[in-house]
Amino acid sequence: MKQNKFIVVTGGTKGIGHAIIDAFMEEGFDVATCSRNSEELDRVKQDLEFKYKGQKVHIMVADLSRMDSCKLFGKFVSDRTDNVDVLVNNTGHFLPGQLHTEQEGNLELMLNTNLHSAYNISRFFIPAMKDRKEGHIFNICSTASIIPYINGGSYCVSKFALYGLTKVFREEMKEFDVRVTAILPGATFTASWEGSDLPETRFMKPSDIGQAVLGCWKLSSHTVVEEILLRPQLGDI
């Protein structure tokens, strides 16, 4: 029996992560995702498996800011599939503040969540991708990866680092035919912007980010989109 293609999306219960899962399940993929919230995971599994009959959503509660949790999630996935075709490192956290005044520990938390999770999860799945000489890794960076925002503080630092990590992985994976792409979205209408007094139309749709990621993957193996920068039509917020 032919297996469906398989995508791993960290932090896939809402926003950009959920939109990416939806886009790839539309193409027939099975999915593994994780979150710290078990209720949200259960809801996503139920909704998507109802929508996409015959496809599987594998869920696990995990805090990927912790290395031991990254390893457990990697083992969870590898117990369910031999081939991860697409990996999307989407787990992230934002705390506002300025470097010189923000709360102590912000930098460590942002690095652990936004950078170390992608480093550890990628290192878990890369060996099998190298052996097969195929696979695609997407790191969800940000416009904050290339622009220092005044109230971005340690979040900007972590996203700059994630962008650098993506570039290094891209160079390292060339000879193994593993594609690596940085996605740099601007303001997207997700939970991060709850409470904003701006209209929803001022933001990008998460579904647009999902379709952009899918479009990058659908190109032939001869081509890789190294990075894609997306902003609202009216510019940054």
User: What domains does the chain contain, in order, with CATH numbers?
Assistant: 6-230 (3.40.50.720)
| Predicted pLDDT at 156 | 98
For residues 12 and 90, give the distance between their C-alpha atoms in angstroms, rounded to a whole number: 7
Contact 177, 134 (CB under 8 A): yes
| Predicted pLDDT at 197 | 81
Residue of 120, 164, 159, 158 lying closest to 143 (CA atoms): 159
- Name the pTM for this structure: 0.96
Residue with tokens 């990628």, as numbered in its chain: 122
pLDDT along the chain (237 residues), means of 10: 91 96 98 97 98 97 98 98 97 95 97 98 98 98 96 97 98 98 94 78 95 98 97 93
